[in-house]
Chain A
Amino acid sequence: MTNDNSYSLTSPIAAEIGIVEYRSVIRAISETYGYDFSEFALTSMKRRIENFISAFNLRSVEALIDRLKNDKQYFQTFLKSISVESTEMFRDPSFWRTLRDQLLPLILSKVARPRVWFPTCVSGDELYTFCIVLSESNWLDKFEIIATYSNDLSLKQIQSGQFDGHKYDVSSDNYERYQGNGKIRDHFISAEIKFQRNTSLIKNVHFIKQNVNFDNSPTDVKLIIFRNQMLYFTQPLQDKVLTKLYNSLGQGGFIAIGVKEQMGMISSKYFRAINESENIFKKI
């Protein structure tokens, strides 16, 4: 630690961009690659673009647009860095306890090899957490797990088991509160310097590439885990995506969203809350 009594002037929002400039980036991406980010929540999306501009030392918004239009590889890097990773493993330990002790036994009692879907995986923290929950109950081969992703770099990161070491301590504390069978360390090949998760946890997971519009979604899904991802959508987009997820769920299927997210307009028509504090809903 340096002795810095004077607060560093490095600002958390390095290059503030205007709304008109922001819209011009979104438009350029849509025109060049067909990815539509126009209905993403403004404040967080704008901030992530600002962070990208400063992290990659770009002079201006025009310079960003220029690079994005002319360099496909650069666009992939951009996509990865504007996707929000999940914060940690075993976030909300009580949610995972509810899954292990109530919801998963209930689903298993009704269907053989129920299908579980993790849409839009970025860092795979929720996916790995789920697989640890299954593994410790000897349920890994009792579920069919589908993970969709929109960016090849995300897939690479998840399949390599690579884990951001900054998240390790909080994940380990969460695991203790979850009250697992052992230590979270047991599910890592290395928990020093280069943090590596045990990839045999995900060896049966089906990874499917999917665009941001949720085309080619799986069907007859019994459980969708989609927590803290709608935060980055405007309400109209939340409704559209929830409608698609609803259509992917089989009869009586379940969906979990983040504890501070809302079902919005379509909730009462399509879903019934079965656990309000953990935000788990059942398809009506």
Chain B
Amino acid sequence: MIGGSAGSFQVVASILGSLPKNYELPIFLCLHRLKHVRTGFVEVLSLKSAIPVIEPYDKEPIKPGRAYLAPANYHMYIELGNKFALSTEAPLNHSRPSIDLSFVTAAQVYRNKLVGIILSGANKDGAYGLKKVAEYGGTTIVQDPNTCEVRTMTEAALQMGNVNHIFSIDKIASFVANLKAI
């Protein structure tokens, strides 16, 4: 699961672009975006991605080999039973979708099988969520703040502690591309 905000688009694009076509895992993207723009984002990401990019519907089953993008103005939760649950509950850290909420719900379901990644961004959303990923035994990665357009989000995540790797953009892309289903 990848969280990002300002300055994360190019990073996400290079991660998705470097995946093998037969990628075995689902990828979840929780990126801050304009809440009133419903279309366009997923189409642009699709152009760069080696696997299909989808904005899930509520209760849509999760399938491997797809990248799922949190829809505008909804929180995206991972629900027990291998599906999504969307929510219009209040914003958290001024954000809906909230990276913290996506990460926490994913951590509770996937536990040590989850990899949480925080990218460039202009607020502190995601730091708490990444800490929870670590507490549930998952792997945590933060983009090297020196490679970020905006470093606030990654620095907040690093301050929370429990970060396994600080990676450059290329290193994140190759790490994700080489992950295999357990």
Residues of A within 8 A of B (CB): 6-7, 11-13, 41-44, 47-48, 84-87, 91-93, 170, 173-174, 177, 228, 230-232, 234-235, 238, 258-262, 264
Contacts and interface: CB of A to CB of B under 8 A. Distances in A.
Contacts of B80: 42-43
A84 B91 CA distance: 12
B179 interface: no
Interface string B53-81: 00111111000000000010110011110
A31 B157 CA distance: 44
A68 to B, nearest CB: 21
Interface string B101-138: 10011000000000000000000100110000000000
A43 B85 contact: yes
A162 B17 CA distance: 49
Contact of A43 (B36, B100, B105, B156): B105
Nearest to A86: B88
B159 interface: yes
A260 B87 contact: no
Contact of B88 (A7, A84, A170, A262): A84
A91 B38 CA distance: 11
Given A7-B124, A7-B160, A173 B88 contact: no
15 contacts: A7-B127, A7-B128, A41-B59, A43-B85, A43-B87, A86-B88, A87-B73, A93-B36, A231-B88, A260-B55, A260-B56, A260-B74, A260-B86, A261-B57, A262-B59
B104 A44 contact: no
B92 interface: yes
A264 B106 CA distance: 24
B96 interface: yes
A41 B85 contact: yes
Which of B57, B58, B73, B100: most chain A CB closer than 10 A?
B58
Nearest to A235: B59
Task: Using C-beta atoms within 8 Å of the partner chain, give the interface range for chain B.
Answer: 35 or more
Sort A-B residue pairs by CB-CB distance and give the 9 closest, nearest first: A43-B77, A7-B156, A228-B88, A7-B124, A7-B127, A44-B87, A87-B88, A262-B57, A12-B100
A84 B89 contact: yes
Interface in B19-74: 35-36, 38, 55-60, 71, 73-74
B79 A43 contact: yes
Contact of A12 (B59, B87, B104): B104
Given A43-B78, A43-B80, A235-B59, 8 more contacts: A7-B128, A7-B159, A42-B79, A42-B85, A91-B73, A173-B36, A174-B36, A258-B88
A12 B92 contact: yes
Contacts of B59: 41, 234-235, 238, 262, 264
Nearest to B83: A235
B98 interface: yes
B58 A261 contact: yes
A87 B96 contact: yes
B58 A170 contact: no
B128 A11 contact: yes
